[in-house]
Structure 1
Amino acid sequence: MKKFFGFRTGKVCSSSPFDMELMNDLMASVHKEEVTDTQPRYNIRVKELKKIHKVAVMDNICKMQRLLLRGQDVNKRDKRKRTPLHLACTIGHADMVDFLVGRTCKLDLYDGDCRTPLMKAVQYQEEACVTTLLEHGANPHLTDKFGNTALHYAVAGENMSIVEKLILYDANIEARNKVRQHYL
């Protein structure tokens, strides 16, 4: 019989068996059905994630530290080429983001959608994560496959606070994406 180990949210260290109620709470918080225009939620299939990615989603810094001490790669990719940092930024786990950037994870890796963790944090309006990434040197000039920068995502999300922050970190206000403009 396969043994499961639970992941608790927060910073509490625990080695208790898998807690189905806790997993249901996680699933409810991650698979939000309510999608608003201002802040769409990100769907994550927890069953498809590798252990290090599950720990990032659960925001369990203690377990993440143990995995890294055991030799897990902080930049390990899942099937969609996301790192634990991508997932933590998307969900808004600022403490996990802070922990990961302090462990020399690569800040500017692209996922399968050609987006960096900074782009994901901006796209989902996770300002604390954006701040941490910028303070640790994330590049606001990188573009996705459509030529969008993090600043494009901030403007599209109408989040002036994040727009201002990106500009303070020298985001290129003249950057153009690949959308063609038609003039009459």
Structure 2
Amino acid sequence: MKKIFSFTKKKKHPSGTPDNGSVLSAGYELKEKDLGKVHKAALVGDLAKLKQLAKKNDINQLDKENRTALHIACASGHVEVVHFLVESKAKLNLCDNQNRSALMKAVQGQHKRCMSILLENHADPNLVDINGNTALHLVANIPSPSLAALLLQHEANINAQNKEGFTPLTVAVRENHIEMAELLLGENADVNCMDKDQRSPLMIAAGNGQIGMLRLLLEYKADITLKDAKGWSADYYAEMNGHHPCSVLIIEHGTQMNDGLSLSQQGPSKKKKRMLLGSPFQDVEAGFSLGGPATDKDDFEDNSQSESLSR
């Protein structure tokens, strides 16, 4: 369950009110009595108050949960406050008790402008939280392709693995986020990355009955011959979980690949050679194509029972 802000007293916020994204995934449960003056000003977006406090107070001071004012401003989406804190030399890579940076809190709240300010000032996109997740893992879980693209522009590690061995692509596959997976694959994410149990994204998609995701992974040359630590292949994952259409798709793909390989080894037939010599109608044998990524996610439900990213 994703936490939202809670207060002992309800107050009207000034003009810097958080956008709707912070309500969805800010990730902090806060009580005013537990916050110092600097943190309170950052929470409500009171820039004028914060500027006064910054003259006599350390803007990098930590609360009981090791959060800075920058953490809270980023979680809340207060762009002007974030800009002021960065200009005032706030430390960008300090981490809270969950080992999450201000950038990660901006990611969770989907506050792109806050992210841009941090990244342009060299915030590290590859810090990891207590579960080994980077900012890109968090984005893949949301999902938000535009935020992922922003992180990748600033050298986020596309194949970083968390403690489960999941890369951002594995997370996108597990959650059946096809658009996110397609973006990552297009940026050269490893389609055959293995988690700590030696499961590939193809195995996960097959086990969950995600036929659209399977088509996408196969288009990007996912290896159907890989086996996990128990010796199970993607085809076996599909059959074991009752996803017959997924099993058929994998088997057909393997057959097509084998047929294509056999044809290439044989070389052109005599008939084909004659036609290549001068016929304007070259009846070249059609190659096998898997087509574009499918988007019919509703055809087969994602029955994944695996846990979500730690909040």
* Interval containing the TM-score (normalised by the shorter chain): 0.7 to 0.9
Larger radius of gyration: 2
Decide which of 105, 109, 112 is 2:90's aligned counterpart. 105
More divergent stretch after superposition (133-142 vs 61-70):
61-70
CA distance in 1, matches of 2:31, 2:133: 26
Decide which of 24, 38, 41 is 1:55's aligned counterpart. 41
- What CA deviation, in whole Å up to 9, does each residue of 1:88-121 have, x standing for no partner? 0001001100000000010000111110000111
User: What letter matches 1:148 in structure 2?
Assistant: N
CA distance in 1, matches of 2:159, 2:100: 20
Please say if 1:85 is aligned against 2:70: yes
- What CA deviation, in whole Å up to 9, does each residue of 1:12-61 have, x standing for no partner? xxxxxxxxxx95334xx88x9xx7xxx33443212210111001111111
**Counterpart for residue 104 of structure 2:** 119
CA distance in 1, matches of 2:25, 2:38: 25
- What CA deviation, in whole Å up to 9, does each residue of 1:107-138 have, x standing for no partner? 00011111000011111211111111001110
CA distance in 1, matches of 2:135, 2:46: 27
**Counterpart for residue 135 of structure 1:** 120
Decide which of 51, 57, 69 is 2:55's aligned counterpart. 69
CA distance in 2, matches of 1:81, 1:93: 19
Please say if 1:144 is aligned against 2:144: no
Structure 1 unmatched ranges of 5 or more: 1-21
Runs of 4+ in 1 over 3 A off after TM superposition: none
CA distance in 1, matches of 2:65, 2:110: 21
CA distance in 2, matches of 1:160, 1:94: 21
Q: Give the secondary structure class of the aligned counterpart of 2:58.
A: coil
- What CA deviation, in whole Å up to 9, does each residue of 1:58-103 have, x standing for no partner? 1111111111112x00100011110000000001001100000000
CA distance in 2, matches of 1:125, 1:43: 17
| Structure showing the higher helix proportion among its residues | 2
Using CA pairs under 8 Å that are at least 6 residues apart, name the structure with larger relative contact order, 1 or 2. Answer: 1
**Counterpart for residue 11 of structure 2:** 24
**Counterpart for residue 138 of structure 2:** 153
**Counterpart for residue 170 of structure 1:** 155
User: What letter matches 2:105 in structure 1?
Assistant: K
**Counterpart for residue 95 of structure 1:** 80
Structure 2 unmatched ranges of 5 or more: 1-8, 166-194, 198-227, 233-311
**Counterpart for residue 12 of structure 1:** none
Cα RMSD between the aligned structures?
Answer: 2.0
Q: Give the secondary structure class of the aligned counterpart of 1:162.
A: helix
